[in-house]
């Protein structure tokens, strides 16, 4: 029904991430996956356009996680001749001062919550609430019992759009994958 109603662009199974962002920003699409930062959408959207961040998928349990991820990570080369200096720098990056500066510059929220960060936007507040509650994950499948379900979801999300699966057959495939994940636990 959604496809017949024009809810998807031509070739939705092959839409690049940046194209989907542009489509959402200009009102040609309803939603996309974004990880804690809507500034790239806001930068190209018409003035006055607003975006919101919410967990996905959701259920009625109240135990939903928000997909939120930093765009970078830090590590220390095991062969570095400056191990102490590197550890000092990584410790600084984990400090409230550095976390807050990074969050403010990226319009996100600190990965490590602290009492001194104040959200500037409603979306920052949403992300911060989930971070403080310990309910963030890098991808929506974090609570699933294995990887087969996610792989099958990726597949049936496309086969439904292509017409080779129905919602019923897709649900059956997902149930089978979930049972496989549970059996492997």
Encode pLDDT of 138-180 as tens digits. Answer: 776 777 888 899 899 989 989 998 889 999 999 999 999 999 9
131 or 3, which is more confident: 131
Average pLDDT for residues 131-140, to the nearest whole number?
Answer: 81
pTM of the model: 0.68
Q: Which residues of 5-20 are buried (b: 16+ CB within 10 A; e: fewer)?
A: eeeeeeeeeeeeeeeb
Query: Any residues with CB less than 8 A from the CB of 39 and at least 6 apart, and which?
Result: 106, 107
Asked whether the predicted pLDDT for residue 35 surpasses 80, the reply is no
Average pLDDT for residues 36-42, to the nearest whole number?
Answer: 70
* 142 Cα distance to chain centroid: 11
What is the structure's pLDDT at 70?
64
Number of H helices, E strands in the chain: 7, 2
Instruction: Using a pLDDT cut of 90, give the percent of the chain over it.
Output: 32
In the chain, what are the domain boundaries?
67-137, 144-185
What is the structure's pLDDT at 9?
78
Convert the pLDDT of each residue in 51-87 to its tens digit. Answer: 888 887 777 887 888 877 666 678 899 999 999 999 9
Helix (H, G, I), strand (E, B) or coil at 136: strand
């Amino acid at each position: 029904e959604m496809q017949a109603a024009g809810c998807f662009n031509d070739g939705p199974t092959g839409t690049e991430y940046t194209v989907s962002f542009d489509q959402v920003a200009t009102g040609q699409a309803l939603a996309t996956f974004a990880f804690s930062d809507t500034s790239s959408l806001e930068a190209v959207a018409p003035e006055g356009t607003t975006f919101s961040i919410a967990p996905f998928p959701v259920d009625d349990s109240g135990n939903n996680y928000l997909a939120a991820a930093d765009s970078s990570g830090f590590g220390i080369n095991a062969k570095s001749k400056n191990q102490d200096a590197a550890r000092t720098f990584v410790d600084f990056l984990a400090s409230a001062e550095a976390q807050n500066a990074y969050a403010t510059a990226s319009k996100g929220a600190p990965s490590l919550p602290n009492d001194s960060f104040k959200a500037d936007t409603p979306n920052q507040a949403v992300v911060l609430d989930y971070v403080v509650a310990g309910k963030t994950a890098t991808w929506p499948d974090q609570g699933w019992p294995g990887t087969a379900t996610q792989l099958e979801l990726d597949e049936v999300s496309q086969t439904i759009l292509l017409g080779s699966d129905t919602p019923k057959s897709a649900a059956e495939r997902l149930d089978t994958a979930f049972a496989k994940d549970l059996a492997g636990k």
